[in-house]
Structure 1
Amino acid sequence: MEQTKYSVGLDIGTTKIVAIIGKENEYGKIEVLGIGRSRSLGVHRGVVNNITQTIQSIQQAVEQAEANSGLKIGSVTVGIAGQHIRSLQHSDYITRPNSEEVIGEEDLETLCNQVYKLVMLPGEEIIHVLPQEYRVDGQAEVKQPIGMYGGRLEANFHVVVGQVSSIKNIGRCIKSAGLNLDNITLEPLASANAVLSQEEKEAGVALIDIGGGTTDLAIFKDGIIRHTAVIPFGGNVITEDIKEGCSIIEKQAELLKIKFGSAWPGENKDNEIVSIPGLRGREPKEITLKNLSKIIHARVVEIIEQVYLEIKNYGHEEQKKKLIGGIVLTGGGSQLKHLKQLVEYITGMDTRIGYPNEHMAGDSDAEIASPTYATAVGLLMNAVENSHRFPRVRESQQQAAAAGEMVLEEVGRQEGETSRQKERKSVFDRWADKLKEFLDNAE
């Protein structure tokens, strides 16, 4: 099989690293060709804190995916999260030299490029510039200005910002694992692509992705991303609480949470007890399920309240900004028993669990349709979409990689050579190019 026919999404999470190889079938659905996962040892709360261990974990996941599919992985699309991520709203405009010509993609790119030049705090870098609504000569709420006449083009942008060092560390891990970095995407955006329908995005919906180290939030309304946030708590904090509260080891705490854990204490009777084997011949410990769910409940309430605060900050309580689609829970943490009911109770919003099977081919492995793989599937979808957008650039990248060359500098240089740049690149792709050049110069 040619290399251009398939794409790879790599989810570098706090508890696991997942590599998914896939391609688009003739019906426009994603067909998974191979999956590899490994324990994530060098990531804490979504941020790489041990380069060597992260590289090893990436290589393990990639090798497993290659063995499963019989294909060779050259380049990957990676997700980024962590508490260093923040977002802001920004408005900008350009005055077009000739208002007699219709607005084209070049004008939108010029406007987006202008936003990329915003001065950030020291050590921060813009990751995504996401246009919301446009205005053309004062005409508001224009969703797609291409083809219209106008002299002044304005837009509101949702700008996602992250720490340069964290972004650089991810790039270094990818490069050291022998891979090329195709693109880098905010994880809540990837998860949203995988589990949300277009109708939900139009109606207004909050996606809550509960991972091991972080809880990611993405809010959509009128089909447009309105707000993103990363909260530095996830499933690992619940496990930690069980470990401390029951005086048991982490492995046992994790198993207890998965098998017997519930977010609703009222569900368990006082006489329901589980016995945990003692360490090295010590007496077994007896833990009541009511106490277990009380520990879980306390921490889950804290996480949901933090997320709900972000939803209120967006303005959900205003009639115009109301999220009719409610909340969609995904990620490994969303599988906790009675979590859906607790979220509905605290927020008063309709809630469902999001499974990433909407865009998958019918014969996909049932395991991949689990909320645990939502981010990885979303990253794969992003990689497939980008390969369609400019296949020629991708082909040349992969030929160069096959010849043992690193193409990062070349792709970075292409950005400056606008006269040669025939492929239409999105803002995501250009940012990935800048990062690649930045990584090479850092060596």
Structure 2
Amino acid sequence: MEDNIAVGLDIGTTKIVAMIGRKNEYGKVEILGIGKSKSLGVHRGVVNNITQTIQSIQQAVQEAELASDMQIQGVTVGIAGQHIRSLQHSDYITRPNSEHVIGEEDIDRLINQVHKLVMLPGEEIIHVLPQEYKVDGQAEIKEPIGMYGGRLEANFHVVVGQVSSIRNIGRCVKSAGLNLERITLEPLASANAVLSQEEKEAGVALIDIGGGTTDLAIFRDGIIRHTAVIPFGGNVITEDIKEGCSIIEKQAELLKIKFGSAWPGENKDNEIVSIPGLRGREPKEITLKNLSKIIHARVVEIVEQVYVEIKNYGHEEQKKKLIAGIVLTGGGSQLKHLKQLVEYITGMDTRIGYPNEHLAGDSDDDVTSPLFATAVGLVLDGLKRKERKVIEKENLLNEFEDESNQSQEILNKPVKERRSFLDKLTERVKDFLDNAE
């Protein structure tokens, strides 16, 4: 595939989306094709049926290939799920020679040290995100490279997940005949798609309400500060409607989408929906007021859990205040009056996030729906990674342009780039899959 094209694969609880995107000459992303299939083998963000998941992935990929007239090989995959948790950790290294300036290798050494943290059995560190550094006790350093100092320390945001869950996703992607280019954290992908740089600087909480999970990512001063995955999403609301109204799931889902509201006060007592009975039974009559009461109760529970996480991050301290408030995205964010309810519960400014921050102006309305925030984010992630590789190759070439005899040698040398932990994680999953067959 060409360098300026990438494919995002969002393996969700309700749907699997394959999305093909390309960078245009203005630096914006054009979506060339989308494929969407019902996700049958995933529960709360975790694969629980390999065969069904592989089939759903293949279906979504075929649809995207048809729409774009392209062949998909490599994909960027998102992971979420109830097994993801995060913690704060600080660590330091003492440098052998403080006469030399701090370089990449010192930071790598420090990050590798964090990787040796002892986790619970079956867990693995997915992301190690440096927050800020200290050099010889001087705090609040954003970029220590090039500085002098003997002791380098940093605060880290560490994201942890279950190895088996991540490997299962890798297995599904590989068995669907695709090449796993990179694994990335879904809340981070969604954030890339819907948040502006100003919001990330000012402080913002992104809440991505999916079918099986609700993901949270908090940014402040342009750096990710906190992530959490809450194991509830739109599906539990549907489940409650199904139980509360004694109807089948398909009808409950339709009711929620068409008539659902998170604010019970909105509906009059006499507004009624009639639902056809099963196999010759009498139709059921459901009042919209009751429907919104059921929805309201569950949504309040989800929002309150998210708010606990926002408070855990420390939003109530003056220094950590999230000035840009909350951005809601994901399919669940389309519920009527949700914005008002979230503002009421948290007291924070709220907006709905559409993934059009980096998309070309003439994109379809479909693509810019909050439903596709994660998929758009994964495409952006894939494109960014390809761009980095191209730039690094060019830089190497430019360095040696003058010394033409050496330039051939350097071309044959592999490009050394500072690999993020996601790249390393992707490699570990790939190695495991290759050896496990």
Q: Shorter chain as normaliser: what TM range?
A: over 0.9
1:431 Cα deviation (Å)? 2.1
Query: TM-score, length-normalised on structure 2?
Result: 0.93
Cα distance per residue 1:145-199 (max 9 Å; x no partner): 1222222221111010001110110010011001111111111111111111111
Q: What percent identity do the matched residue pairs reach?
A: 83
| Deviation, structure 1 residue 376 | 0.6
- Alignment of structure 1 residues 171-182 onto 2, 5 Å: 171-182=170-181
- Equivalent residues in 2 for 1:103-142 (5 A)? 103-142=102-141
Task: Report what 1:202 is aligned to.
Answer: 201
Q: Distance in 2 between matches of 1:6 and 1:257?
A: 36
The residue type paired with residue 312 of structure 2 is N
Q: TM-score, normalised by structure 1?
A: 0.92
Q: What is residue 99 of structure 2 aligned with on the other side?
A: 100
Which digits, 9 at most, give the CA deviation of each residue in 1:238-287, with x for residues without a partner? 00111111111111110000000000000000010111111112111111
Describe how 1:146-225 pairs up with structure 2 within 5 A: 146-225=145-224
- One-letter amino acid matched to 1:281: G
Q: Does 1:435 align with 2:434?
A: no
Stretches of structure 1 that go unaligned for 5 or more consecutive residues are: 395-418
Q: Which residue of 1 aligns with 2:319?
A: 320
The answer to whether the 8 A contact 2:187-2:208 is kept is yes
Q: Is the 8 A contact 1:194 1:359 kept in 2?
A: yes
Structure 1 segment 243-254 matched on structure 2, within 5 A: 243-254=242-253
Using the alignment, how far apart are the partners of 1:305 and 1:16 within structure 2?
Answer: 25
Question: Residue by residue, what CA displacement relative to the aligned partner does 1:306-339 show, whole Å, maximum 9, x if unpaired?
Answer: 1111111111111111111111100000000000
SS in 2 for 1:274: strand
Q: Deviations over 1:192-242 (max 9, x none)?
A: 111111111111111110000001111111111111111111000000111
Letter in 2 for 1:426: S
1:133 offset after TM fit, Å?
0.3
Matches within 5 A, 1:10-29: 10-29=9-28
Alignment size in residue pairs: 418
How much has 1:26 moved relative to structure 2?
1.9
Match for 2:257: what amino acid? I
Is 1:290 the counterpart of 2:284 in the alignment?
A: no
Q: CA deviation at 1:393?
A: 10
What corresponds to 1:424 in structure 2? 418
> Does residue 377 of structure 1 match 2:376?
yes
The equivalences for 1:269-348 within 5 A come to: 269-348=268-347
**Equivalent AA in structure 2 for residue 312 of structure 1:** K
| Distance across 1 between alignment mates of 2:163 and 2:420 | 21
Deviations 1:86-106 (A, max 9, x none): 101111222233322222223
Partner SS state of residue 390, structure 1: helix
Contact 1:390 1:424 in 2 (8 A): no
Residue identity opposite 2:424 in structure 1: R
- Equivalent residue for 2:79? 80
Q: Greater CA deviation, 280-289 or 348-357?
A: 280-289
| Alignment deviations for residues 52-72 of structure 1 (CA, whole Å, 9 cap, x no partner) | 000000000011111111111
Q: Is the 8 A contact 1:109 1:427 kept in 2?
A: no
How far off its partner does 1:421 sit?
5.6
Question: SS at the partner of 2:127?
Answer: strand
> Hey, what's the Cα distance between the residues in 1 that align with 2:319 and 2:204?
13
- Deviation of residue 435 (structure 1)? 2.0
Q: CA deviation at 1:344?
A: 0.5
Contact 1:112 1:427 in 2 (8 A): no
In structure 1, what is the equivalent of residue 238 of structure 2?
239
Give yes or no for the alignment of 1:362 onto 2:361.
yes
Contiguous gaps of at least 5 residues in structure 2: 394-412
What amino acid does structure 1 have at the position aligned with 2:418?
R
Partner of 2:144: 145
CA distance in 1, matches of 2:92, 2:28: 37
CA change 1:220–1:41 in 2 (3 A) is same
In the TM superposition, what whole-angstrom CA distance separates every residue of 1:103-125 from its partner, at most 9, and x where no partner exists? 22232222222222222111001
Kept in 1, the 8 Å contact 2:392–2:415? The answer is no
User: Using the alignment, how far apart are the partners of 2:392 and 2:273 within structure 1?
Assistant: 57
Q: What is the correspondence of 1:383-422 to structure 2 with a 5 Å cutoff?
A: 383-391=382-390, 422=416
**Which amino acid counterpart does residue 343 of structure 1 have in structure 2?**
V
Residues of 1 paired with 2:418 and 2:224: CA distance?
A: 22
- Give me the whole-angstrom Cα distance separating, in 1, the residues matched to 2:2 and 2:204: 37
CA–CA distance in 2 between the matches of 1:260 and 1:173?
36
Query: CA offset at residue 297 of structure 1?
Result: 0.4
Following superposition, the deviation at residue 392 of structure 1 comes to: 9.5
Distance 2:101 2:379 in 1: 35
Matched residue, 1:397: none
Structure 2 Cα separation of the partners of residues 178 and 113 of structure 1: 33
CA RMSD of aligned residues (A): 1.6
